[in-house]
């Protein structure tokens, strides 16, 4: 008896510690996401981000209270799930764009299985063509596709980035040899209303560029 009482008391705390956030009570939406992510651990095979990068996105969205997120490069939805999980706590939603139909369809299935589909508008198409028509504003933009187009995405989306918002690009270190990444970093660092850091701990490095004020 004593053993089971301590399990009930300690169990949620251990889950909480493991995930670095509020405990997930059985049957809760958090528990559903957690169980889904557990079931998929080491199963993400379509160029998906790592779990620790997912946590980085999750923590950033929560810390800043972001609610309007856009992702370019859904793949099968790993990063989308981490972002939407955080957005489920801030009252936000995510638009995510993927060009490959089989990946898009797999992502849609995964979003549903994680119980996050109502927060995610998953679009199938070429982001190069879709981005100009996206309405915005966004307070979190995550570019994880098509890295040679990074500067073009930045130029198209900067007017739609809310003050205080963040424009993040995955793999800026590991793919730093690509012209699109080099040109993007040079351009964003040249703007006095953007503050850029690179999360070196993230796999391949993630640049985080915050809009500190509206451009003059």
What are the backbone dihedrals phi and psi of residue 52, each rounded to the nearest 5 degrees, phi first? Answer: -70, -30
Between residue 141 and residue 160, which ones bind ligand SAM under the rule CB under 6 A? Answer: 144-146
Q: How far is the CB of 127 from ligand SAM (least distance, A)?
A: 3
Distances in whole angstroms, Cα of residue 153 to Cα of each of 52, 129, 144, 148, 213: 25, 10, 11, 10, 20
Rounded to an integer, what distance in angstroms lies between the CA atom of residue 85 and that of residue 58?
7
Terminal-to-terminal C-alpha distance of the chain: 67
48 binds ligand SAM (CB under 6 A): yes
User: What letter does residue 45 receive in the DSSP assignment?
Assistant: -
Which lies closer to ligand SAM via its Cβ, residue 42 or residue 192?
A: 42
114 binds ligand SAM (CB under 6 A): no
Please choose, out of 41-49, 110-118, 158-166, 172-180, the segment that lies near ligand SAM by the rule CB under 6 A: 41-49
Rounded to an integer, what distance in angstroms lies between the CA atom of residue 50 and that of residue 126?
24
Q: How far is the CB of 13 from ligand SAM (least distance, A)?
A: 29
Interacting residue with ligand SAM among 31, 100, 117, 152 (CB under 6 A): 100
Q: How far is the CB of 128 from ligand SAM (least distance, A)?
A: 5
What residues are paired with 211 via a beta bridge?
194
User: Which residues contribute to the site for ligand SAM (CB under 6 A)?
Assistant: 47-49, 72-79, 97-100, 103, 126-128, 144-146
């Amino acid at each position: 008896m004593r053993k089971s009482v301590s399990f009930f008391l300690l169990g949620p705390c251990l889950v909480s510690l493991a995930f670095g956030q509020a405990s997930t009570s059985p049957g809760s939406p958090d528990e559903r996401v957690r169980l889904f992510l557990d079931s998929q651990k080491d199963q993400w095979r379509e160029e998906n981000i790592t779990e620790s990068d997912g946590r980085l996105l999750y923590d950033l969205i929560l810390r800043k209270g972001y609610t309007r997120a856009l992702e370019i490069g859904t793949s099968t939805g790993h990063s989308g799930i981490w972002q939407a999980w955080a957005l489920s706590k801030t009252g936000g939603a995510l638009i995510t764009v993927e060009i490959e139909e089989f990946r898009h369809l797999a992502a849609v299935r995964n979003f549903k299985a994680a119980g996050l589909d109502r927060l995610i508008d998953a679009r199938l198409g070429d982001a190069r063509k879709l981005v100009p028509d996206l309405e915005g504003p966004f307070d979190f933009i995550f570019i994880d596709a098509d890295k040679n187009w990074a500067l073009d995405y930045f130029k198209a989306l900067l007017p739609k980035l809310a003050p205080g918002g963040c424009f993040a690009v995955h793999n800026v270190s590991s793919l730093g040899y690509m012209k699109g990444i080099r040109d993007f970093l040079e351009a964003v660092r040249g703007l006095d209303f953007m503050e850029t850091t690179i999360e070196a701990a993230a796999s391949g490095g993630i640049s985080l560029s915050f809009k500190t004020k509206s451009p003059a």
